[in-house]
């Protein structure tokens, strides 16, 4: 089976969409998590400087810097699969819509 121009364009677009979106999701979640951790750590250090007896710098480090919920390769592969599925569904919907339009137009050409 030979792919025409539009099908080749769809395959390349789907591959780019899949890789770019999966990478963007992982990087944006990691950046958001890092920003939240940095803000929480700064707030905790501010509370230590107010001389709150329950908090120490070590406790702040333990809470905010030791806990890691950073996305890695496993999550990237999950996002990759999710966006590949989305691409395949979009391709099928577009293909079906084109087929329906062609079928309707073919019906107009039939002699009465």
Q: pLDDT tens, 33-51?
A: 888 888 888 888 787 777 6
In the block, residue with structure tokens 């999966």: 22
Token pair for residue 58?
A: 């070590």
pLDDT at 85: 94
For residues 64 and 80, is the Cβ–Cβ distance under 8 A? no
pLDDT at 66: 67
The domain total for the chain is: 1
Token pair for residue 45?
A: 């250090």
Q: Which residues of the chain have pLDDT under 50?
A: none
CA angle 25, 29, 31 (to 5 degrees): 120
pLDDT at 35: 85
Which residue range forms the structural domain that includes residue 19?
A: 5-108
């Amino acid at each position: 089976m030979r792919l025409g121009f539009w099908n080749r364009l769809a395959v390349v677009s789907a591959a780019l969409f899949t890789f770019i979106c999966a990478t963007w999701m992982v990087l944006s979640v990691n950046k958001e998590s890092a920003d939240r951790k940095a803000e929480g750590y700064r707030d905790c250090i501010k509370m230590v400087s107010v001389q709150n007896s329950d908090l120490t710098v070590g406790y702040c480090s333990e809470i905010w810097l030791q806990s890691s919920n950073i996305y890695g390769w496993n999550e990237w592969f999950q996002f990759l699969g999710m966006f590949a599925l989305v691409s395949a569904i979009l391709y099928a919907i577009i293909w079906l819509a084109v087929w329906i339009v062609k079928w309707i137009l073919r019906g107009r050409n039939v002699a009465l």
